[in-house]
Structure 1
Amino acid sequence: MFQLMSVNFDDNIPNWRTQLETIAYNVLVVVKSGKVRYEINEEEVIAEQEDVLFIPQSTRRSGGNWNDTEHQKFTVLFTLDHPESTGIPFLDERRFMRMNLSHIQYAYRRCERLYEEMRGGKSYRTLICQGIMQELIGMLARELDKTEVAPNKRYYADTIKSYLLEHYREPVEIESLSRLVQRSPGYTAALFKEVYGLSPIRYMHQLRVQEACRLLLHSDMSIAHIAQYLGYYDTSYFYRMFKKQTGLSPSSYIHQMDLSDESILFT
């Protein structure tokens, strides 16, 4: 069904951009951090952390860093053997799509594995890559089959998510988030979980632990310093939250995590 052309991981590339052109292939974009700006058929699209985009063949598209900031994203370029009928609505309709996945961390891991397999030369690489790609497309199709969230709920949840992405290192309480959307604390927590599959506070801790993993591997900050930097002024509480999210203590994570396999997180 799928003919994979390339799988790329754009890792905070300064001055990243792609020229305006009518593409002869499909593109699946999974944004891991930051924001990226696209022009899709003369309309501006700003994709941010956890967004998934499907850009169909024959789209007039360009892209670049948003406001000169860097980002991380996976991009999968592919064509279809039988584009006239796949049985998957968004592929058959060849329509641009932007969405969130309930299991985005799992999607990151699958993209990481796909990226590694495409770069390697191990036996059965093509078969494995086909399987991963079919799984990713299946996840998107299943998500789209779910009952549509009411537009006002989506707006409130997206407002809260954007706030948390910007302020996750600061003290956050459900009461302050409810004031942000002018709804009750109980309603605010319930609608966010309905849209994103977890509570706002758990999402905040997930963002903090994701950043902690990056800092543990790519900085010389001490564990205590990282905890304080991320808003955990009780280091023992940071340890508990880190282990709850990853299954490892911070020190065990440093010793056991291979730099090439960061994707083993949040199982």
Structure 2
Amino acid sequence: MKLTSFHYDKSSSWNEEQPHTNPDWTLIFVIYGRCVYWIHEKKQVLEKGQWLLIPSDTPMYGRSVPTKIHEKFVIHFAADEAEHVFPLLQQSSHTCRQTGKFDIIADRLRLIHRGWQDKQPYYQALCEAHLQELFVYLQREWDQAATTSATSLLVEQMKVYIQNHYREHVTKDELGACISRSPNYAASLFRQVTGQTISEFVHVTRIKTAVYMLRHSALTVTEIAEFIGYNDPSYFYRVFRRLTGLVPTELVSDRETIRK
């Protein structure tokens, strides 16, 4: 699997046409809003959380929904030997799916984007490793497409509970009680559907809030850490660095620069 190009779009006036002679596969993942593609003249609307996989040598045209901003990641790659590993890359027509693993897929795409921009030594190998990992999640989810809507609803209930209590210590016992199931069942189901453990999802939810507060509040890093549930600032720094690739003070510096 060889990554040939990667870009991030944020626009309300985007349009693009891909000729049928393009030798690469294309993967699109929408993280906000929606856009529209025509593949072999068949219309495909893509919304937040949906991904679209287009085989090589497939003509397509895409554009923004007029006056509506959307954000998406677009990857072009050569499948090479990965075709023998992932059945998704054996499809002769385009594939579209709504993911239940939004956070983990968006996280991997951000890592690829950062690496592709920074171009540190061996960046291509690292980006391609992240891309292959991403396809593992997509393929697993595709294989588990039989997950029932009732099961998905249970996971959504657990997500809502976490979003309402992420500043506290959320346990599998609490989530089990939330969906009237055993703690072990709740933890297993949550990981199966989201690709994350309960703890990982709690950390992601906390760090999302931290990013916003670091950019837009007047609180110190320590105050923000305590507010979102981290009593140890050094631990907050480690988790923040692991999930974002940044340190909290970088965002605080940006905030102070903007205010000046």
Any conservation in 2 of the 1:157–1:195 contact (CA below 8 Å)?
no
Correspondent of 2:249 among 247, 255, 259:
255
Any conservation in 2 of the 1:28–1:76 contact (CA below 8 Å)?
yes
Q: Match of 1:177?
A: none
Q: Match of 1:7?
A: 6
Q: Distance in 1 between matches of 2:236 and 2:144?
A: 30
Any conservation in 2 of the 1:53–1:99 contact (CA below 8 Å)?
no
The 1:6–1:236 alpha-carbon spacing in structure 2 relative to 1, beyond 3 Å, is closer
Write the deviation string for residues 170-221 of structure 1: whole angstroms up to 9, x where unpaired: x9xxxxxxxxxxxxx848xx7x9575478xxx9899668636524532x4x4
Write the deviation string for residues 82-125 of structure 1: whole angstroms up to 9, x where unpaired: 58x423111012341323153x4333333222223323443323
Any conservation in 1 of the 2:214–2:251 contact (CA below 8 Å)?
no
Displacement of 1:7 = 0.9
Confirm or deny that 1:239 pairs with 2:247. Answer: no
Any conservation in 2 of the 1:7–1:118 contact (CA below 8 Å)?
yes
Q: Match of 1:145?
A: 143
Q: Distance in 2 between matches of 1:237 and 1:9?
A: 33
Displacement of 1:256 = 5.7
Q: Match of 2:61?
A: 62
The 1:236–1:55 alpha-carbon spacing in structure 2 relative to 1, beyond 3 Å, is same
Q: Match of 2:43?
A: 43
SS of corresponding position for 1:213: helix
Partner AA of 2:89 in structure 1: L
Partner AA of 2:249 in structure 1: H
Matched ranges for 1:155-194 at <5 A: 186=179
The TM-score, its normalising length taken from structure 2, stands at: 0.60
Displacement of 1:76 = 0.9
Confirm or deny that 1:222 pairs with 2:221. Answer: no
Q: Distance in 1 between matches of 2:123 and 2:133?
A: 15
Q: Match of 1:108?
A: 106
Correspondent of 1:132 among 111, 130, 152:
130
Q: Match of 1:182?
A: none
The 1:211–1:63 alpha-carbon spacing in structure 2 relative to 1, beyond 3 Å, is farther
Q: Distance in 2 between matches of 1:157 and 1:62?
A: 38
Displacement of 1:131 = 1.6
SS of corresponding position for 1:112: helix
The TM-score, its normalising length taken from structure 1, stands at: 0.59
Q: Match of 2:76?
A: 77
Q: Distance in 2 between matches of 1:118 and 1:109?
A: 14
The 1:3–1:147 alpha-carbon spacing in structure 2 relative to 1, beyond 3 Å, is closer
Any conservation in 1 of the 2:209–2:228 contact (CA below 8 Å)?
no
Displacement of 1:257 = 5.3
Displacement of 1:80 = 2.3
Q: Distance in 2 between matches of 1:242 and 1:44?
A: 47
SS of corresponding position for 2:63: strand
The 1:77–1:197 alpha-carbon spacing in structure 2 relative to 1, beyond 3 Å, is closer
Partner AA of 2:47 in structure 1: A
Partner AA of 2:79 in structure 1: L
Correspondent of 1:87 among 55, 65, 85:
85
Any conservation in 2 of the 1:5–1:77 contact (CA below 8 Å)?
yes
SS of corresponding position for 1:255: helix
Q: Distance in 2 between matches of 1:16 and 1:106?
A: 26
Write the deviation string for residues 21-72 of structure 1: whole angstroms up to 9, x where unpaired: 547221222333x212222431232321x33332222444332333522233
Partner AA of 2:147 in structure 1: V
Any conservation in 2 of the 1:23–1:61 contact (CA below 8 Å)?
no
Displacement of 1:157 = 7.8
The 1:205–1:120 alpha-carbon spacing in structure 2 relative to 1, beyond 3 Å, is closer
